[in-house]
Amino acid sequence: MGVTIHFEGRLNLQNYLGLISLATNFAFANNMKYFLFEEENKTLERVEDEEDWDYIGPVKGIKIQPDIDCDPLLEFDNNYYIQEYCKTQFTDIETNLKIVNFLKEIKPLFEPFTVFDEGEYWDTGDIDLLQQHIDSCFTAINEAKVENINLSGPFRLADGRIVDLMEN
């Protein structure tokens, strides 16, 4: 359930500073909070061949918070690999469009770079279709809350990620 943009790829090492510059400019131009970071030991949840696994080790990047109602962006592992998602259904549609356009701008810096956009805007550019997905998401969330009165949400986790529903 949700409208989430999933993306992954390996950044070419020589493009790291260029990506940081593009990301900083993107965040600044759109009045988004951001900060550069490096951590010696962090766990990143990953999926490969439909199997969950954890990367544990050094992490760095730029954490951009596109909107208070949206997931943060851009953490790289030690090999400059990124596998993230950005849940956007709770923010305005304009923020979703900005994120997709930013990902299209940075795509050439990666080899390879893949995107799966549950709102389908990445592939279609169709704002009406994106809005239909957002509306369907809210319908599903509301139906789930009716079916189970112990569900509520959304919730923001300590790492900035958003969870649609959780049981009380």
Q: What is the pLDDT of residue 89?
A: 85
CB-based burial label for 19 (10 Å; 0-12, 13-18, 19+): buried
Instruction: Name which of 45-54, 90-99, 118-127, 158-167 the model is least confident about.
Output: 158-167
More confident of the two residues 155 and 8: 8
**Helices within the chain (DSSP H only):** 16-29, 93-106, 121-124, 127-147
Instruction: Name which of 51-60, 66-75, 131-140, 155-164 the model is least confident about.
Output: 155-164
pLDDT, one tens digit per residue, over 74-116 is 989 889 999 999 999 888 899 999 999 999 999 999 999 999 9
- Distance separating alpha carbons of residues 83 and 113, to the nearest angstrom: 10
More confident of the two residues 158 and 29: 29
What is the percent of the chain with per-residue pLDDT over 90, rounded to a whole number?
Answer: 59
Q: Any idea what DSSP says for residue 101? A: H
- Distance separating alpha carbons of residues 15 and 12, to the nearest angstrom: 5
How confident is residue 1, by pLDDT bands cut at 50, 70 and 90?
low
Q: Is the pLDDT of residue 47 over 60?
A: yes
Q: Is the pLDDT of residue 160 over 80?
A: no
- Distance separating alpha carbons of residues 155 and 39, to the nearest angstrom: 25
Q: Is the pLDDT of residue 127 over 60?
A: yes
Is the Cβ–Cβ distance between 36 and 144 less than 8 Å? no
Q: Is the pLDDT of residue 19 over 90?
A: yes
Mean confidence (pLDDT) of the chain: 90
CB atoms within 10 A of CB 12: 14
Over range 42-49, report the average pLDDT.
Answer: 87
Q: Any idea what DSSP says for residue 14? A: G
